[in-house]
Structure 1
Amino acid sequence: MQEIQSAAWDSYSASQPQRRLTNAKGETTWFNWTQYPDHGPGVELLSLSAGGSVLDLGCGAGGNLAHLASIGMQGTGVDLSIAQLGKARQRWGSAGFELHQAEALGFLAQSTRTFDAVYSVFGAAYFTDPDRMLPAVHARLAQGGVFALSQRPAVEGCYGCQASYIPRGDDEDPAIVRRWDFSLVTWEALLKEYGFKDVTTSVLPAPVPGRRTIGTLLVSGRRA
């Protein structure tokens, strides 16, 4: 199963360009939670102190990790896709963060480290059962550490495990990966159930103007 999932995300990687060289402010690194450029909050959501340790679950091509490194944080990224990690190394080189090719739950189970923050931007937390992901994250967070995720908000009435399809070319069926969608109320209850406090949940509206209207789900909490 892991090999199938890895191949699916390698296919996804082939369809995605590298991050822009600069954003609208002219910055060469930046933190982005949403599916839209130059939109939404930044790294302040993680409430990090200087030199804090951070884990990115589903780090992709490493853009957010590169920004964390640029402001002095100790970043670690985990991704199942060899192609995505290759993009990260090609773009950022030895930018001061670690990369691991691994399945997120496996990495969390095997690691003995603790982190000041764990986050997932349309990453592994979107594609893993929260009944397994949340306790695993909680175990790796330092006391008071922040967990935050972003993903698309659920379609009303379509909750729980859903199917996502990733194109693999004209001659192949799309790859299928599972994702987990819940209402804001359910996300809040799940984090509290698994030992998080100061939980916040919201949907950040899409930027205006534009024809795209789907917002971004933002969820965060602290290890109690």
Structure 2
Amino acid sequence: MREHDVGAWDVWGAARPGRQGRNAAGAETWFNWTQWPDHGPGEELLGDVRGARVLDLGCGSGGNLAHLAAVGADAVGVDISPVQLAKARERWPHLEVRQETAESFLASAPDRYAAICSVFGAAWFTDPARLLPLVHARLAPGGIYAFSHNPPALEGCYGAQASQMPSPVKGGEPLYVRRWDFEPGAWAELLERAGFVDVTAEVIPPPTGKSTGTLLVRGARGREGAQPR
């Protein structure tokens, strides 16, 4: 993700209502991999995060990060949008959040993480050729990397694509950011080439009445420190 994408994500974040106060089960925090409320798996995909260092790449307004902290993770979130991070800090002032690109944070962070996640975040909007080696290097042996976003919008349109954002001014030109679209099998191959093991990639079916599922990819750093092929 590029530094000049900040304005586009601020516009997008300002228009988002943020996470509702409680979910259908009455919980104040929860982890949601999909774009649909109360649907899909939860934080268990990251393993046992209690007491573990966990990183959320593209944490946005902090809903998933707040849940990771609530269940006992030592969690930090990274996002490039000041608007989004201001929302996170206002609602959950205890959260550890940083305004930075995923690439620069991973390249400079001294920590190793038991889990790294990205939900409709930096994993979708950063060139995987740059991001995957950085994620792999920052995972502890056996650590989990998992991310989710929409499946490819058009069959045959893979790799770098353009996502349109509304203009910050009425009647202005739209803004654009890049995203990377691949089918599940291609994502699995990309992770394996970057050294990840036990890789899974699937599309979670949408809830009844909805048409778009959610791509969910998960892999681990080998306990012996698997190296890229």
Shift of 1:222: 0.3
Structure 2 partner of 1:183: 183
| Aligned pairs for 1:129-144 within 5 A | 129-144=127-142
Query: Cα distance, 1:49 vs. partner?
Result: 4.2
Number of equivalenced pairs: 220
Task: Map Cα deviations across residues 45-88 of structure 1 (whole Å, 9 max, x no partner).
Answer: 00124211100000000011111111111100000000000000
RMSD, aligned α-carbons: 1.1
CA distance in 1, matches of 2:2, 2:68: 28
CA shift digits 1:84-112 (9 cap, x unpaired): 00000011112xx3100001101100111
1:167 alignment partner in structure 2: 166
Indicate if the aligned counterparts of 1:129 and 1:180 stay in contact, CA closer than 8 A.
yes
Cα distance, 1:221 vs structure 2: 0.3
Q: 2:207 matched to which residue of 1?
A: 207
Give the match for residue 108 of structure 2. 110
Separation in structure 1 between the aligned mates of residue 11 and residue 207 of structure 2, nearest angstrom: 28
Amino acid across the alignment from 2:166: P
Cα pair 1:48 1:117 within 8 Å, conserved? no
**Within 2, Cα distance between the matches of 1:5 and 1:48?**
34
SS in 1 for 2:106: helix
Instruction: Provide, for residues 109-140 of structure 1, a one-character-per-residue CA deviation record: whole Å limited to 9, x for no partner.
Output: 01111000001000001001111110000000
Counterpart for residue 218 of structure 2: 220
Letter in 2 for 1:113: D
Unmatched runs of 5 consecutive residues or more in structure 1 = none
- How far has the Cα of 1:180 moved from its partner? 0.2
Deviation of 1:174 (Å): 1.3
State the SS of the aligned residue for 2:130: helix
- Report the counterpart of residue 79 of structure 2 in structure 1: 79
What secondary structure sits across from 1:165 in the alignment?
A: strand
Change (3 A) 1:193 1:89: same
Q: Structure 1 length as normaliser, TM-score?
A: 0.96
In structure 2, C-alpha distance between the alignment counterparts of 1:56 and 1:184, rounded to whole Å: 21
Q: Distance in 1 between matches of 2:198 and 2:102?
A: 24
Deviations 1:126-165, CA, capped at 9 Å, x for gaps: 0011111100000000000000000000132111000000
The amino acid across from 2:165 in the alignment is: I
1:93 aligns with 2:93: yes
Could you say what secondary structure the match of 1:86 adopts? helix
Contact 1:48 1:116 in 2 (8 A): no
TM-score, length of structure 2 as denominator length: 0.93
In structure 2, the CA distance between the partners of 1:49 and 1:55, relative to structure 1 (3 Å rule), is closer
Which residue identity is paired with 1:194? A
Aligned to 1:65: 65
**Contact 2:166–2:174 under 8 Å retained in 1:** yes
For residues 40 and 137 of structure 2, what CA distance do their matches in structure 1 show?
29
Indicate the larger mover: 170-179 or 8-17.
170-179
Segments of 5+ residues of structure 2 without an aligned counterpart are: 223-229
Q: Distance in 1 between matches of 2:129 and 2:93?
A: 35
